[in-house]
Structure 1
Amino acid sequence: MNPRHFVAPVRWIALLGFCIPLLSFAQVDTASNAPERVVWNKTPIAIPLVVGEERLVHFPGSVSIGLPQALTALLRSQSVNGTLYLLAREPFDTTRIMVRSETEGPMYVLDVSAEPAESGSHTLPDVQIMLDSEPDTDAAESLSNNQSLSWGYAALTRYAAQQLYAPTRLIPRQSGVVAIPVSAEPVELVHGARIEAVPVAAWKAGLRYVTAVKLTNRTQRPVVLDPRELRGAWLAATFQHNRLLPAGNEDDTTAVYLISDRPFDVAF
């Protein structure tokens, strides 16, 4: 599919628009919510929390967390597709936790602490943990890895949105990104079968893939979209809107941009 010739219903184009703020699994669009990027170099990573405020920590791949017994009543933790969801129930001092990669990656060390919420305080940004690139004797593979790392989640998501919905004169001409075919058949992407999901376009940059999927509410009640309800192994999932009105309304459709380290049909 050539994304520049993609024809979407006028209603959907108007809904999505161009360069509107994105609601993201990785919180990647607005400058105020830009993720805090940290390169893992075997040094413990400090993760401060605010009581009652969930904070997301994103890893290069799927992970599992080892929570000390002392924190089990104080900290709620969930691991979903490479993202840790951390919510402190009460304040606690800095405590070390171990996070194990489930994809032959490293063991991460986090120093987590929690402070009481204060009026007027700003929401803490997500934390994006990245691996330091390692030298490779194969020059071609090294170049591919570098290209992949240069295209972060925010850049890939914005690129996909621009390719589909931006005026032709504003579509970026970027080397290293290529369109790849994707089957435009409905898939059960969202648990519960309430949302119809149809892939519409996909691109590859280095070792990463981004797929644009149209989401349509097929129920007669509003639906709030939650990235934890998505099937598949995604590095990041960005909703254009996180709430859909009942089927038949003008705002019953939106899009999600899925970033993975494998093609859509494999990651799904």
Structure 2
Amino acid sequence: MKAPNCYSPAQWVALLGLCFFVVCFAQADDAASNGPERVVWNKSPIVIPLVVGEERLVHFPDSVSIGLPQTLTPLLRTQSINGTVYLLARQSFEPSRVMVRSETDGPMYVLDISAAPDEAEGRSLPDVQILLETPQNTGAAESKYGTRSRSWGYAALTRYAAQQLYAPTRLIPRQSGVAAMPVNGKPVDLVYGAKVEAVPVAAWKVGLQYVTAVKLTNRTQTAVVLDPRELRGSWLAATFQHNRLLPAGNEADTTAVYLVSDRPFDVAL
């Protein structure tokens, strides 16, 4: 006996439409799960877990270079190409801090990278896309230097100068709008009392401000405590790398002071 047809033509059309919707929804959901993991850089370390033997991509807003600790070199392969860092763990390792420097005028990123075996044998980890925070409340009318000049406070200028003197070259951020200024490299009369020799070693100009790095050396046989009130000149800010100098001849008889001014060093002095 022939089985009766349970569905009318209209019901068959509705059923096929429902099936089509379910298939499309499943495909869209699968595509979304395979999309990149988006993380906004807010100065907090970004956690990047890896699976041993599986390459994971991290996308940055611009070209970057990665400073890999020596202890990670045999454990982790890294390549940086056009703003994308390719990470491949050769074996497991605990979370390790890795610095990533923008090749333009972007920030220095901090990553906490770890690697473990793929015990779950699940899906591959998605790419990571790092985004920058969108600046809020920017004024409609800006000066020639705009928002960038306002971001260069005294602390930022001092930090930049200190990085130029002490940080490894591969970790020094490249900043646009910074101009190196000439210095004479001869001793100047900066510190009252003639106990400390001062020699300007480098200077930079950002917008309408200047920052000068000056080497300070104790020339006496007694320790000297440095005080910004004992500096000659007109300075917006003065920051010592160390505020105490040991007697002459000791390894710690020399330090640096970073001077921020609204005019060139020799004029402000």
What TM-score comes out, normalization by structure 2 length? Answer: 0.47
Bigger relative contact order (CA 8 A; separation at least 6): 1
> Whose radius of gyration is greater, 1 or 2?
2
